[in-house]
Amino acid sequence: MPLNLAQRRTLNNFKTTPYVSGFQGLVRGITNTEVEVEVDWTSVENTTDPDWVLRDECKYVKEYFFSHLENALKKVCADDFGKDAFKAKIKKVTIANSERDDVPFVEGNIKLLDGTLAILTSLRGNVYIGEGMIQEFLEQNL
């Protein structure tokens, strides 16, 4: 179901906030690399529950797409070992929304392939990929 005008405005306003527009720079600062961060906004726009996903000025998009990744990277890259390991293996991070209710339990929703860390999470309440899952995946795969 396509977003209505008010929902499109809400999402666009969120995408242009300093936090979101500066997120790639934030990640680069944490990881000490020139990593690219790519958000699949179409996957957000195509959600089946836009009222939930976009409520409270997109607080769930911020939390599930950005904050969890930021916090996990701060822990993984807290020292030179983590920064060096990240730099050696990751050149790009992609984040997308899934409509599945079992996202955290499906293998492959966090993967590292050809220098790309791909995170497929859910914006639907309690079925997201959390910072602990991202941190654990990175620590096991870097």
Boundaries of domain holding 100: 5-141
- CA torsion 96-101-107-110 (nearest 10°) is 20
pLDDT score recorded for residue 123: 84
Q: List per-residue pLDDT tens for the chain, 142 residues long.
A: 689 999 999 999 999 999 999 999 999 999 999 999 999 999 999 988 898 889 898 998 999 899 999 999 999 999 999 999 999 999 999 999 987 665 555 566 899 999 999 999 888 766 678 899 999 999 999 9
pLDDT score recorded for residue 128: 74
Distance CA 7, CA 51 (A): 8
pLDDT score recorded for residue 1: 67
Taking the CB of residue 99, how many other CB atoms lie within 10 A of it? 14
Q: What is the pTM of this model?
A: 0.91
Contact 109, 103 (CB under 8 A): yes
pLDDT score recorded for residue 103: 52
Contact 50, 8 (CB under 8 A): no
Q: Say which residues have a Cβ less than 8 Å from residue 36's Cβ, sequence separation at least 6.
A: 24, 91, 92, 93
Count how many domains the chain has: 1
